[in-house]
Amino acid sequence: MPRNRFAWHLFGTAAGAGVTLMIACYWLASLGLAALADEAAFQQLTDTAVGLTEILPDLEDPAGREQFERLARGLTKRSRLTVEVLDREGRQVAGLTPDTNAGEPNDRWPEYEQLSAAALAGRSARLSRYDVASGSRMFAVAVPIGPAAVPTGVLRVLADTQGSDRVLYAALQRLLMGFLAGGALMLLVGWMIAHRVARPLGELARGVRQAVAGESVRLPTSAVGELAGIADGVTTLRTQLVERGLTIDRRDTEQEAVLDSMIEGVLAVDVRQQIVGINQAAASLLQVDIETVLRRPLQEVIRNPEIRRFVLQAIDCREPVEDDFVLADPVSRIFHGRGTALRDPSGEGGAVIVLNDVTELERLETVRRDFVANVSHELKTPVASIKGFVETLQDGAVDDPADARRFLKIVAKQADRLEAIIEDLLALSRIEQSEEAGSLPLETVWVAEVLASARASCLPRATERGQAIEIDCPADLTAEINAPLLEQAVLNLIDNAIKYGGSQQPIRVQAAEPQVTGGGAGLAISVHDAGCGIAAEHLPRLFERFYRVDRGRSRQVGGTGLGLSIVKHIVQAHGGTITVVSDPGQGSTFTLTLPPAKPPRTG
């Protein structure tokens, strides 16, 4: 845990410093004890030597030397001492050597002789050295005998330190044990202090982790000023981050809502052409899945080279770029794209591409141009005919009663044609307005009555061509429809069947109540003729305004080119569909299908 790591770090630092200090203290203390022991040993040897000089008898007399040795032996009974008395010439006058000290000191220790010179100079001298033979240190002291100004001889005392070393070793052991015990106590106290110091910091770290995880937690306070400052700073920072996060989330939500509500497709790519953002409209236009295309290269998602080239151009250009391109999979669609490059301070960038599906707009523009051209052409023909015959009458044909009546009859026919075109255009405009507004008035009527009324209107023209109009409709069949408009649609279909159906061939009108997907009964009305039929290549455009399969024959039979277009819009205003099935030489069947009536709203 972080708290333990800090405690161990703090404890390790303190323990290392404490152990180093204790080792240094023990080393200095051991050196001091050793020096103190050496000084005590030298002082004892010096006191012994001085004491012996004070009781020194006449060494010239053998009895005096024996008395000195006896006194010296009593003084050094328990000591391992070598005592020597030398005259000024360095000859040994008397001496006492322990039995354990074999051999002469000066044989083993050449520097031992230097003490005599110092003592003969009137001062005490001392010397220490490690003796290899005995395996211990050796101390030597020399003091002058007689007056300090003119000594009469030298007294030397030599001793080993085996006994004092044992005492010193025992003292150092006790000192070491004391230091070890003190060190253990110091480590225990140090760990307790480190643990206590680290605990608030660990609690603060745990609170910060919980705050980072999004938990609502109050950071612990501490009596330590620095930790309290950290807690207050983290609390303030957390509050600011939460507020900033809420602001960012709100902006992201608003941005997503705006992007999802846009009908334009929005595609964002980075400088490496990886998709970093896409809204639902763009996913629908490009037919991709939002969840699977993010962070993927554009080349893997969109196969169209024109779009990829446009995106690359938008990334490289500083000014917005626009272009149109076509997607042909699965159906041909036209897109208008607008791309804007993005730049940030880090040097990274990308582009935002806005896509609009202008297929329908292009189609409507094409239809508009064709409609204007067709209307102009359809109106131009009767107007030119009327103008030509009027000019002929003005040039003198009016004086010929037969020509005048014939020309006026043609003018009247062309005027009727103009009136029919204008009436169909006005009717088509009214139907389109009702279709767009969704305000078509509906009522429940008997379908057989509507079909009978349409048959009655067309029967005279059918009789002239020897065609019978057969109606197959249940007498109790009702539907919620706009009766005048549906009657006009059926009338236009019957009128087309009369014009293009074969002579002496019957026209069948059938009405039924088929089951519509989703439940409920709708209404299906079909008009069948046994005429020349329609080739398959004309069927997709059959319901366009002024579209004619055979323009010459259409004008001969008096058609305006708007009948089927009016039928289509009437059916669409009812929320239905119209279809055609036709084989050349076998006749055609037009079927309009209306959905079931919507239930009335409650509450």
3 state DSSP class of 334: strand
Task: Specify whether the CB–CB gap between 527 and 589 falls below 8 A.
Answer: yes
Say whether pLDDT at 143 is over 70.
yes
State residue 142's pLDDT score: 86
Q: Which two tokens stand for residue 272?
A: 């490496």
Q: What is the pLDDT of residue 602?
A: 40
Does 449 score more than 50 pLDDT? yes
Per-residue b/e over 29-46, b at no fewer than 16 CB within 10 Å? bbeeeeeebbeebbebbb
Q: What are phi and psi of 83, to 5 degrees?
A: -115, 130
Closest CA to 159 of 80, 100, 52, 84: 80
What is the SS3 assignment for 396? coil
Angle (CA) 279-281-285 rounded to 5° is 120
pLDDT at res. 378: 64
Burial tier of 67 (Cβ tally within 10 Å: 0-12, 13-18, 19+): middle
Residue whose entry in the numeric block shows the structure tokens 């003084």: 75
pLDDT at site 54: 75
Q: Provide the whole-model pTM.
A: 0.43
Flag the least confident range among 21-35, 292-306, 453-467, 516-530. Answer: 516-530
Q: Which two tokens stand for residue 332?
A: 């041909």
Q: How confident is the model at residue 437, as a pLDDT?
A: 61
Task: Give 334's contacts (C-beta < 8 A, 6+ positions apart).
Answer: 324, 325, 326, 357, 358, 359, 362
- C-alpha 551/C-alpha 543 separation (Å) is 15
Residues 521-563: tens digit of each pLDDT: 578 899 998 888 888 888 887 777 777 666 544 455 555 667 7
Residue 136: what pLDDT? Answer: 72
Contact indicator for 475, 436 with CB cutoff of 8 Å: no
Q: Which of 189, 139, 158 is nearest to 83 (CA)?
A: 158
Is the CB of residue 483 less than 8 Å from the CB of residue 443?
Answer: yes
As a whole-number percent, the residues of the chain with pLDDT over 90 amount to 1
| Strand 587-594 to 523-529 pairing | antiparallel
Phi and psi at residue 77, to the nearest 5°: -60, -45
Alpha helices in 395-550 (DSSP H): 401-437, 447-464, 483-500
Q: Which of the residue ranges 224-228, 392-396, 424-428, 515-519 has the most confident prediction, judged by mean pLDDT?
A: 392-396
On whether the CB atoms of residues 172 and 33 are closer than 8 A, the answer is: yes
Q: What is residue 263's predicted lDDT score, i.e. its pLDDT?
A: 75
**Does residue 475 register a pLDDT over 70?**
yes
CB atoms within 10 A of CB 28: 10
Mean of the pLDDT values across residues 137-166?
Answer: 79
100-114, 128-142, 260-274, 577-591: least confident range: 100-114
**Residue with token string 């036709």:** 582
Beta-carbon contacts of 530 under 8 Å, excluding residues fewer than 6 positions away, are 501, 502, 505, 506, 586, 587
**Could you tell me if 93 and 153 are in contact, meaning their C-beta atoms sit under 8 angstroms apart?**
yes
Question: What pLDDT does residue 552 have?
Answer: 47
Going by C-alpha positions, the residue among 208, 264, 215, 260 that lies closest to residue 235 is: 208
- CB 16: neighbour CB atoms within 10 A? 10
Residue 146 Cα distances to 71, 119, 193, 479, angstroms? 19, 11, 67, 160
pLDDT tens-digit profile of 168-218? 788 888 888 988 888 888 888 888 887 777 777 777 777 777 766 666 666
Q: For residue 12, which of 191, 180, 184, 197 has the smallest C-alpha distance? A: 191
Instruction: Give the C-alpha separation, 234 to 211, whole Å.
Output: 9
Least confident of 221-225, 328-332, 482-486, 537-541: 221-225
Q: Are 145 and 154 in contact (CB under 8 A)?
A: yes
pLDDT tops 70 at residue 122: yes
| Whether the Cβ atoms of residue 505 and residue 536 lie closer than 8 Å to each other | no
By the 10 Å C-beta count (0-12 exposed, 13-18 middle, 19+ buried), 238 is classed as middle
Structure-model confidence comparison of residues 408 and 514, the more confident one = 408
CB-based burial of residue 116 (10 Å sphere; 0-12 exposed, 13-18 middle, 19+ buried)?
Answer: buried
Question: What is the rounded CA–CA span in Å between residue 585 and residue 535?
Answer: 9
The CA distance from 584 to 598, in Å, is 39
Length in residues, the chain: 603
Average pLDDT (506-524) is: 73
Which pLDDT band holds residue 601 (cuts at 50, 70, 90)?
very low
In this structure, what token pair is assigned to residue 546? 């002024």
157-180 burial: b if 16+ Cβ within 10 Å, else e? bbbbbeebeeebeebbeeeeeebe
User: In this structure, are residues 543 and 565 in contact, taking their beta carbons and an 8 Å threshold?
Assistant: yes
CA atoms of 83 and 114, how far apart (whole Å): 16
Half-sphere exposure of 556 (CA within 13 A, CB side): 6
323-342 average pLDDT score: 79
Cβ atoms of 45 and 141 closer than 8 Å: yes
